[in-house]
């Protein structure tokens, strides 16, 4: 069975400071891992994905995540937060080897950015 | 370019009423998924189609939930005799192929269902 745990339900940062959203996963095989962002009243947007090609993954809008197998972690970071980054973020795990496999979402982390 | 679209965006139903939610996937996408997102939670899987075949419906919470994709493109999620616990955002997602190295799914904006 697969699962993800997002360690913080809410993270608050000031504009221009670093962002760290933490995610741990559980999987019995080498998983695919994703981060999605959801802005209010908008659809889920893929930020980045890990597919075993490289452990440090760069995504859109300056976000990146590092896959650490020994720690079973896939934390999302950004060097400098922007007001437009305020949104809900989901860490997601999937089995890349099964056809039509559903994505397994964490409960989400709400990122607030203050000026 | 056209993404995944869903209609209606908002639906208010009285308890006991039947509702139908529509999803238009990206053209040519073989796989289609439905998810349910309760308030303050992450989306949870409901059902999966590969073309017109419903290959997995293990996430449907009860037999009041029914989904179809008769021609392998547009899909409809139907909920019969709605209950208050059905209130949620229903998300549709599509992906290009049934088997991919990373299974990227593209999501629609969702339908927010409120059952009174």
| Residue in this structure with the two tokens 């059902």, named with its chain if needed | B47
Q: Which of B44, B56, B107 sits opposite A44 (nearest CB)?
A: B107
Tally C-beta pairs within 8 A across A and B.
70
Contact A44, B107 (CB under 8 A): yes
**How confident is the model at residue A97, as a pLDDT?**
64
Residue B32 and residue B15: Cα distance in Å, rounded?
28
| Residue in this structure with the two tokens 């969702």, named with its chain if needed | B110
- pLDDT attached to residue B2: 81
Residues of B with Cβ-Cβ distance to A95 under 8 angstroms: 103
How distant is the Cα of B40 from the closest Cα of chain A, in angstroms?
8
User: Which pLDDT belongs to residue B81?
Assistant: 97
Range with the poorest average pLDDT among A47-61, A92-106, B1-15, B31-45? A92-106
C-alpha–C-alpha distance, residues A13 and A26, integer Å: 28
The partner residue sitting opposite B103, judged by closest CB among A32, A44, A108, is A32
Whether B103 has its CB under 8 Å from any CB of chain A: the answer is: yes
Q: Do the Cβ atoms of A44 and B91 come within 8 Å?
A: yes
> What's residue A98's pLDDT?
63
Distance CA B2, CA B103 (A): 20
Task: Give the tens place of pLDDT for each residue, B48-99.
Answer: 999 999 998 999 999 999 999 999 999 999 999 999 999 999 999 998 876 5
Give the mean model confidence (pLDDT) for residues B41-49: 93
**The two structure tokens encoding residue B115:** 């059952």
Is B31's CB within 8 Å of A103's CB? no
B90-103 tens-digit pLDDT: 999 998 876 554 56
Å between A41 CA and nearest CA of chain B? 7
Looking at residue B102, its pLDDT comes to 58
A51 contacts B91? CB cut-off 8 A: no
- DSSP structure class, residue B70: T
The pLDDT, as a whole number, for residue B98 is 66
Spatial distance between the Cα atoms of B11 and B9, rounded to a whole number of angstroms:
7
| Mean pLDDT, rounded, of chain A | 91
Q: Cβ contacts of residue B1 below 8 Å, gap of 6+?
A: none
Q: What's the pLDDT band for A100 if we cut at 50, 70, 90?
A: low
Per-residue model confidence as pLDDT tens digits over A39-53:
987 889 999 999 877
Which residues on chain A place their C-beta less than 8 Å from a C-beta of chain B? 32, 34, 36, 41-46, 49, 51, 90, 94-96, 99-108
> What is the Cα gyration radius of chain A?
14
């Amino acid at each position: 069975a697969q699962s993800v745990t997002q360690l913080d339900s809410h993270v608050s940062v000031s504009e221009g400071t670093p962002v760290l959203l933490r995610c741990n996963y559980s999987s019995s095989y080498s998983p695919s891992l994703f981060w999605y962002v959801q802005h209010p009243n908008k659809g889920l947007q893929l930020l980045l994905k890990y597919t075993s090609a490289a452990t440090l993954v760069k995504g859109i809008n300056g976000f990146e995540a590092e896959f650490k197998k020994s720690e079973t972690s896939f934390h999302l970071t950004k060097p400098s937060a922007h007001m437009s980054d305020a949104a809900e973020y989901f860490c997601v795990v999937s089995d890349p080897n099964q056809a039509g496999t559903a994505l397994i979402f964490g409960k989400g982390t709400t990122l607030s950015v203050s000026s | 370019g056209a993404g995944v679209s869903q209609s209606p965006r908002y639906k208010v139903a009285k308890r006991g009423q039947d509702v139908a939610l529509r999803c238009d996937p990206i053209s040519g996408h073989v796989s289609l998924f439905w998810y349910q997102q309760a308030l303050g939670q992450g989306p949870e899987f409901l059902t999966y189609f590969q073309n017109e075949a419903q290959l997995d419906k293990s996430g449907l919470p009860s037999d009041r939930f029914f989904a179809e994709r008769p021609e392998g493109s547009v899909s409809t999620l139907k909920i019969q005799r709605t209950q208050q616990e059905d209130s949620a955002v229903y998300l549709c997602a599509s992906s290009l192929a049934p088997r991919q190295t990373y299974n990227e799914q593209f999501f629609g904006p969702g339908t927010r269902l409120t059952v009174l």
